[in-house]
Structure 1
Amino acid sequence: MYERVAPERFDSLPEIPEPSENPLLIGHDEAASLLASAYRAGKLHHGLLLAGPPGIGKATLAFHLANHLLSNPDPSSAPERFVAPDPASQTFRLIAQDAHPSLLHLTRPFVERDKKFKTVITVDEIRRIQRFLSLTPHDGGYRVVIVDPADDMNISAANALLKSLEEPPPRTVFVLITHSPGRLLPTIRSRCQVLRLQPLQDRQLMQLLSELGAADESTGAELASRSQGSVRNAILLSQFGGAEITDILHKLVNARDFDPAEALRLGDAVSGRERDVQFAIFNRAVLDMIAERASSLAISGDGIGASRAAELWEDVNTTIREAETFNLDRKQHAAGLAARLNTAFRG
């Protein structure tokens, strides 16, 4: 049975390794090669923006880069390519445990008083960077700051990060993970080298699911076809009722005659105790449906419709954050969003 070493995060899944403790990096060979070559040549950019859909391995790549830098403090003698980290090595264990003195991983903080994670990365989290950078590197090597995901920063946190990016200390690299780079401040994007990572190919996704023990050969192909190149999507679909939740949502949203009773039944399925993952699946599915519609409208040349869909995405994302922040009724939240999308998509 898998034993968690890394601290629990806001998006942790039971029995699935965190990116920081995952020695497997499948896909993204071109990006990994580019980063390794740049480091060896002494030309690694101080700000890296890893962009792409959720669940395709962006954070895993970030931690493999951190392992590469911290295991090889002299760039000129570093390997020309990433070497799979040894889970028994001290560097790997310290990174996995969030205890390496040259690595700072920033994500949504856990509030002990409320027994839950915040819905944003706060300015207090970003201010930890200055304290971290004020310390002398223990081996004279690089220091790595990972913000995961940068999309979750509120405006105060984003402005605080910008100050660090504008005046980066030597031998320091910032790795920002983003699902939606357009939502970041343009000034942050302009100070980073953007690496756009692509969804995993079906064979890559099936290999990774097999390695993680999350699917066998008989189910892997079907999961791959529905997961849009995201291993996280595949795991949610197969192990947490994600397939049923998304199927019912699509049926409700696309129905000519909206069924309020069915919407409330869906609300029941994603609310209640110990259903945080199911609630997150529903919210992600709603946002993905809107994003897909915006993309489809843009491709068809309907700029006004695409703009309206983009505005809807932002508004719904705010609604989701408010539901999480203020612990609003999840059943009514889910039923209400299903009805809202049905109206918007038929309009």
Structure 2
Amino acid sequence: MILGHASAIDRFLGAWASGAMHHAWLLTGPRGIGKASFARAAATRMLAEAAGPLIVGAGIETPENHPTAHLINAGSHPDYRFLERILNKTGTALQRNISVDQVRALGDLFSVTPAMSDWRAVVIDSADDLDRSGANALLKMLEEPPAKCVFLLVSHVPGRLLPTIRSRCTTLDFQPLGDDVMASILAEQGQDSTKIPALIQRAGGSPGTALSYAALDLAPLHDQALAIMRAGDPFNERRARLAQSLSLKASADRYAAFLQIVPTMIADEAKILDGPARLRALDAYRRARDTCQLAPRLSFDPGATIFQLGTILASVAPEGASV
């Protein structure tokens, strides 16, 4: 169930019901708040209603026993495509980007008549992961869109997309979720009720982040990063210890998750600061965001990357505290 995004649901379903459906939607907002889940649900609902039988009830969800939902869940719907990063040739990790070949393969979808209805849908999670050639190939499709096809592009950092892609999309902005909604989602996911308040406090309105905290034991890393940000690190001990703990191959998942939470941590800290302290935090947020975006794409050394992030975190510390 999609919780906490009623305005986005109403806007999308209103456009669909009006018969004036825009061909491309850009779903923006922080990572882990449900944009990809919304995109899949929206595409499923649209294709289900186009093919029938009609769905009774409000909301964007499609009953699991609906033929369209069954086919999409099985990965076999002929009029639906989901693009994401795939495994590399060795099968040991995900590729850095969504490739141009993946985008061009959408031509197979558009070269034949739709099978289930006269509509088709494409979800890209995330558009931020497109390589340059892939982004240009997608742009051509958005400039001359196939008839009755809807593109749903998930983006965590829309400012990094080609301006020409953004200009051809209708934007749906997703906000962090409130504590009540977060609690409902985490309880539904089977989290220990005694630990939910702490998860909510650390997750910044992102259920995905909260679940990562729980699954990967990120709380100690969060506390170490917070200590650096608030007290500095005059002898490099804290950042060195943090870098060492995340530089091993066995720590790859925790390293990737840590890269996702650091910018949000700094942004949350900026909200409670003012004056020069807030300016330092905002500058640190910009630098941390850029580092965390580039590091996995360019395969930066994890230890060096974490040490650099530690330096950025320490720059937020009160004046007089040595970084």
Q: TM-score by structure 2 length?
A: 0.86
Distance in 2, matches of 1:160 and 1:220, equals: 43
SS at match of 1:72: helix
| Residue matched to 1:95 | 72
| C-alpha displacement of 1:123 | 1.5
| Residue matched to 2:204 | 228
Shift in CA distance, 31/259, structure 1 to aligned 2, threshold 3 Å: same
Q: Which amino acid aligns with 1:333?
A: T
Q: Deviations over 1:283-328 (max 9, x none)?
A: 113333455578889998988995685356325532343236xxx3
1:151 and 2:139 are equivalent in the alignment: no
Task: Count residues in correspondence.
Answer: 319
| Residue matched to 1:252 | 228
Q: TM-score by structure 1 length?
A: 0.80
User: Equivalent pairs: percent with the same residue?
Assistant: 31
Q: How does 1:65-104 map to 2 (within 5 A)?
A: 65-73=42-50, 81-82=58-59, 84-104=61-81
Which of 185, 188, 197 is the equivalent residue of 2:162?
A: 185
| C-alpha displacement of 1:75 | 9.1
1:282 and 2:254 are equivalent in the alignment: no
| Residue matched to 1:56 | 33
Structure 1 residues without counterparts, runs of 5 or longer:
1-23
Which of 106, 123, 141 is the equivalent residue of 1:129?
A: 106
C-alpha RMSD of matched pairs (Å): 3.1
| Residue matched to 2:185 | 208
| Residue matched to 1:333 | 305
Q: Deviations over 1:144-175 (max 9, x none)?
A: 11110111122222111111001111110000
| C-alpha displacement of 1:30 | 1.8
Structure 2 residues without counterparts, runs of 5 or longer:
none
| C-alpha displacement of 1:108 | 1.0
**Is contact 1:49-1:189 (8 Å) kept?**
yes
Which of 23, 30, 38 is the equivalent residue of 2:15?
A: 38
Distance in 1, matches of 2:28 and 2:129, equals: 14
**Is contact 1:36-1:81 (8 Å) kept?**
no
| C-alpha displacement of 1:29 | 1.4
**Is contact 1:40-1:80 (8 Å) kept?**
no
Shift in CA distance, 48/79, structure 1 to aligned 2, threshold 3 Å: farther
Distance in 2, matches of 1:118 and 1:238, equals: 26
| C-alpha displacement of 1:340 | 4.6
Shift in CA distance, 166/292, structure 1 to aligned 2, threshold 3 Å: farther
Distance in 2, matches of 1:125 and 1:91, equals: 23
Distance in 2, matches of 1:125 and 1:147, equals: 11
Shift in CA distance, 299/43, structure 1 to aligned 2, threshold 3 Å: farther
Q: How does 1:2-21 map to 2 (within 5 A)?
A: none
The structure with higher relative contact order (CA 8 Å, sep 6+) is 2
Shift in CA distance, 312/231, structure 1 to aligned 2, threshold 3 Å: closer
